[in-house]
Structure 1
Amino acid sequence: MTTELPSGDVTATLSYLRTPATDDPSLTMMYDPLTGEETTMRTAPVEVRLTDGRKNSGDFSLDREGFALIPHRCGITDFLDRSQTEDIYPREAAALICELTGAFTAAGLGSNVRFGRSRPEDYTVTTDHNPARFVHADFTPVSAITARDMSGGVPDKYSRWAIYNVWQVWSEPPQDQPLAICDARSVAREDEDVVQIRLKAPGRDVVRSETVVYYPKPSHKWYYFSNMTVNEKLIFKGFDTDPDRPLRLPHTSFVNPLAGPDAIRKSIETRIVAFYH
């Protein structure tokens, strides 16, 4: 007898930027994902409705909503093996982005393995391994250009470039903390603010960057995909220089009210910088 997995639209709580965004208006808005010691950003819970995109998964477009669910067989056999996740996975994702979007070349920006609960004791943390639990988009113009230049694959000539997030699970469905994504068309620039990121991981220098955070608006239209598998990739826009295409996509993890106590999320993601003629 086959057990039917839980699916369907859900109501969940997302963490949005609070107003005011810091306790002291004179403070720079900061987020410290590892220790929290320098975090000054303040968020507040907001209840939202999330549509399960599973029933219409083929209807979404990177150039319209800003995201798409793509069937794709993953070449990784061990997601705790960094020789695979930091080499094979970004190369595999870059090839997929070229195939899907028509980019003439693309380069990966490493990868992040994340654990919805505790990570294995023998897995050494080199970056933030927790799912992001507040509504954000990864890149501002400043951090996007930094990422582009760090990719090591910038061609001499191109007319457009974009950054994509390639995200997938490597745990069995259902997931206790799926990824929620927001239709880019439902978001306005005035909904956004910028937070400075401080990331200090063992054996690495302090990394400072910036990302986009969001104030809640009733217009925001949220989706998730229930019961993702290892052979699916959720791809969404991180940045784009073409003003006629989605610029970036708010996203966040959330607690899935349909998942049982034994459900867990393990995921991997990479950012891909793509270039176009």
Structure 2
Amino acid sequence: MTEAAQIESIEESARRAPALIRYLGDGNYVTRRYVSQGAEMNTGEYFDYACDVRDGMPMRDHFTLDVHGFVLGRHRSTIVDFHDKPAVDAAYLGEVEELVTKLCGATRTAAQGWMIRTSADLSARAREKVEGYQHSGGIQPPAGEAHVDYNEITGRRAAARIYADRFPDGPGYKRYICFSLWRTFSPGPQDWPLAVCDGRTVTDEETASNTLFVVDEFPVGDALTAPVAGEDQMIAATIFRHRERHRWWYFSNMQADDVLLFKFQDSDHSVTWRCPHTAFHDTSLPDTKIRESIEVRCIAYVE
């Protein structure tokens, strides 16, 4: 049996959880993502597709960043309460930088913003009016559709800007990788875990850019999709349309010391360079519990 056949055999043996994965429809849409306090919404039409999500936990050491676009590691944080914002700002971002540098073999890493997500009811929080809301360090619902947080222009600009800001005396970099480091801190198994898609199974053919608008209140009616000058140069994510070839994975019953690192964008396209992801409702396990998780965006540099 060839090495490729062995890998396929291993992956085909995984337990599968039934899921509904939300994708952008095949129509021609103005695609935007609006975020506000405790709430998010997308324009365009999205549809739920029945998919299998394979459980990678029993084979956790099988996955690698440059093959699959994600890897599951282990890390014990010094943070006692991830809702303690000053503690997260003061200590956790440094932990993430050290850990990501080690996991991906980079020269150095710069952590960016972080976000807590929960499957608990946030409807009261969403009604709060917060002037000047910033999309960082807050609490949001789980991600609702298959996406990557950056499109290529967004990742490339973020890498250049952050390197110049954080490492002004650095020699420059020959490769950058935009990541998310994700962990749950609530007891497992989680009711809405994170699913990650094998980056080898996606192509540009099914993608669209989704421009980010951070707002105090959501616009309504035609204002949701009215033309905005320079929108093609604004911060945007990549969203996906459904294709049968997409291969989804998750890691069931993650514990607080489990960390999932996955790519938003790798400047080296000779390897797997991005990893779509989304939350899904896991009905395959009994006694699931409300999910609370923290994610940190970061950029690793190879100098």
The interval holding the TM-score normalised by the smaller chain is 0.7 to 0.9
Q: Which residue of the other structure, out of 41, 48, 55, is the alignment partner of 2:58? A: 55
Whether 1:153 aligns to 2:166 is: yes
- Aligned with 1:19 (options 26, 32, 35): 26
Structure 2: which 5+ residue stretches go unaligned? Answer: 1-13, 218-233
Q: Which moved more, 1:55-64 or 1:186-195?
A: 186-195
* Aligned-partner residue type, residue 207 of structure 2: E
Residue type of the alignment partner of 2:180 = N
Equivalent in 71, 88, 91 of residue 88 of structure 1: 91
CA–CA distance in 2 between the matches of 1:38 and 1:183?
25
Tell me what 1:132 maps to. Answer: 143
Are the aligned partners of 2:182 and 2:259 in contact in 1 as well (CA < 8 Å)?
Answer: yes
**Partner Cα separation in structure 1 for residue 26 and residue 104 of structure 2:** 38
Q: Give the distance between the partners of 1:161 and 1:218, measured in 2 at CA.
A: 30
Pick the aligned partner of 1:33 from 32, 35, 44.
35
Aligned counterpart for 1:70 among listed residues 51, 73, 77: 73
Q: TM-score, normalised by structure 2?
A: 0.79
Letter in 2 for 1:76: I
Structure 1, unaligned runs of 5 or more: 1-6, 23-27, 203-207
Q: 1:200 to 1:238 in 2, by over 3 A?
A: same
Once the 2 structures are TM-superposed, how far is the Cα of residue 153 of structure 1 from its aligned partner?
Answer: 2.1
1:224 to 2:239 alignment: no
Residue 162 of structure 1: which of 150, 162, 177 is its match? 177
Q: 1:115·1:129 contact (CA, 8 Å) conserved in 2?
A: yes
Compute the TM-score of the two structures, normalised by the length of structure 1: 0.86
Post-superposition offset of 1:143: 1.3
Give the deviation of 1:120 after TM superposition. 11
Deviation at 1:199, TM superposition (A): 1.4
Distance 1:262 1:249 in 2: 26
- Identical-residue share of aligned pairs (%): 28
Structure 1 residue 118: Cα displacement? 2.7
1:223-250 Cα shifts (integer Å, max 9, x gaps): 0000001101000111111121222111
Aligned-pair CA distance for 1:145: 2.8
CA–CA distance in structure 2, aligned partners of residues 37 and 56 of structure 1: 34
Aligned residue for 1:205? none
**In the comparison of the two structures, how many residue pairs are matched?**
262
Q: CA deviation at 1:41?
A: 1.9
Distance in 1 (alpha carbons) for counterparts of 2:40 and 2:110 = 33
Give the Cα–Cα distance (whole angstroms) in 1 for the partners of residues 40 and 189 of structure 2.
Answer: 33
CA distance in 2, matches of 1:104, 1:201: 38
Using the alignment, how far apart are the partners of 2:16 and 2:197 within structure 1? 14
1:3 is matched with: none
1:165 maps to amino acid: S
Q: CA deviation at 1:116?
A: 1.1
1:254 paired residue number: 280
Superposition RMSD on alpha carbons, in Å?
2.7
Structure 2 Cα separation of the partners of residues 67 and 270 of structure 1:
15
